[in-house]
Amino acid sequence: MRLRTAVAQLLCAVLLGALALITAPVATAAPAQTPLRGGTLLYSPAGRCLVSFNATNGSRFYGIMAGQCGAVGTKWYADPRLTIEVGVTETAVFPGKDYALVRFTNPDYSYPSEVAAGVRVIRINRAANPVVGQSACRAGPTTGTHCGTVQAVNVSITYPQGTVSGLFRTNICAEPGDSGGPAFGGDAALGFLVGGSGNCASGGTTYYQPLAPVLSAHGLRVGY
C-alpha cells in the first residue's frame, strides 16, 4: 500500500513538473532597434534632407542637418511615403549659420554616433575644428565618398537670403543631392556640406558648416 502511494506521489510530481514546463512563459528577446546613422536621408512633405551627424544632450538624441532643410516644427520620416515618423525640427538657423537640429522621437530606432559612408560605417568619437591642410572626406548619397584637403577656414557664402559665415572650404567634389553630407577626418566629425561648385568628373570646391560650434551652442556631444 505504501509502495502504491509513493508511486502515485511520484507520478503526480512528474505530471506537475511537465505542466509547469508547458505553461511557463517563454522569454523572448526585445526586437532590435534599427540604427539611423549620420549620412541617412530623411523625408518631409517639402522634400528630403540628409542627417549629417547624430548627437545627444545626455537625455535626448538629435540629428544635425543643413539649416535650409526646413522650419521649426517640420516632421521627418524614415521613408519617402511619409509613414514612419522619426523626428521633428526643434531648431533651424539660416542665414548667419546653416544648421538645423532634429529631435528624434521614434523608440524603434537607435541613433548611434556613427556615419554611413557607402558600405562602411565610421565610428565618430569626437568633433574637431578643421585645420588648413588637413585631410578630410565627405559622404553623400549622389556621389558616395570623396576625400581631399581643407583649403580655408572662416569663409563666407552669400545667398539671396543672406550671408552664412564661419564656414570652411575644401577641394572635395560634390554634386546636387550631396548637400548636408558629413565631412570627417578619421574618427573626428568636422562639419557638413552646405554649398559648392563643380562636379566629381572635373573637380570642385565645397563649403561646410563646422560641427563643433553647433554642438557647443546647444550643449550637445558626439562620441557617446
- What digits encode the pLDDT tens for the residues 141-153? 999 999 999 999 9
From the options 1.10.10.10, 2.40.10.10, 3.30.70.380, 3.40.980.10, give the CATH code of 34-110: 2.40.10.10
Alpha-carbon distance of 99 to 50, in angstroms, equals 12
| pLDDT at 39 exceeding the cut of 90 | yes
pLDDT confidence bin for 170, thresholds 50/70/90? very high
Residue pair 195/67 in contact by the 8 Å Cβ criterion: no
Check: CATH 3.40.50.280 for 125-218? no
Strands 188-199 and 109-110: unpaired
| pLDDT at 43 exceeding the cut of 50 | yes
Same fold, 34-110 and 125-218: yes
Location of C-alpha cell 550637445: 220
SS3 content of the chain, % helix, strand, coil (to 5): 15, 50, 40
Range with the lowest mean pLDDT among 18-32, 85-99, 156-170, 204-218? 18-32
pTM over 0.75: yes
Closest CA to 126 of 192, 35, 206, 53: 53
**pLDDT top residue among 14 and 216:** 216
pLDDT average, residue stretch 106-126:
97
Predicted local distance difference test score (pLDDT) of residue 32: 87
| pLDDT at 14 exceeding the cut of 90 | no
| pLDDT at 24 exceeding the cut of 60 | no
Range with the lowest mean pLDDT among 20-34, 160-174, 202-216? 20-34
Range with the lowest mean pLDDT among 10-19, 68-77, 113-122? 10-19
pLDDT confidence bin for 62, thresholds 50/70/90? very high
Domain ranges across the chain:
34-110, 125-218
pLDDT average, residue stretch 152-157:
98
Three-state DSSP class for residue 178:
coil
pLDDT confidence bin for 215, thresholds 50/70/90? very high
Q: What are phi and psi of 102, to 5 degrees?
A: -105, 115
| pLDDT at 176 exceeding the cut of 90 | yes
